Chains A and B, each alone.
Chain A
């Protein structure tokens, strides 16, 4: 089973709201990712968690706050977003990371995404 689940599927929020996106995988993967994808553009990496620790933050504004409560769950907390933050937010996971001993190559499996609209 290569399933990554994301909730909610759609989210509309005002610029003063606080909301959270959730991602879950039960494949035993040790790395999890958040991506942002605008229409007709490729996914842009936001954050990488490796073994439940934040390993990459691609200079994302502080109004996006990631959290990895355990190896199966990944959250993205949203606060004071701007209309330009409206996008499809994708979660992905992989078995390991290039930094792992042995340096194996791991494909990423993506969830269906959360369509976020900021009004």
Chain B
């Protein structure tokens, strides 16, 4: 079936550096994408979303890029801080999937001081 997957299960970066977390999706009909951050023992926290009519969206220190041609989504975190350490999930939604969120497997971001 269709799925959302991640290239890197663990990403370790130095504090202050930029982080890039990648996500590949396979449902070409997906038209809404969300990045969530989950800290240990907590529920997922919404970070940023993007619809398929856009290829870039910026938030505070975060940018999401969408490449529909290769079905790729990325989350860029500028000036990564220790508080950014968490597991990051991408999620997609498509009408042909019942408008339900499908989650990727997650990437753990570890920020080294």
A associates with B: no
Please list the residues of chain A having a beta carbon within 8 angstroms of any beta carbon in chain B: none
B residues whose Cβ falls under 8 Å from a Cβ of A = none
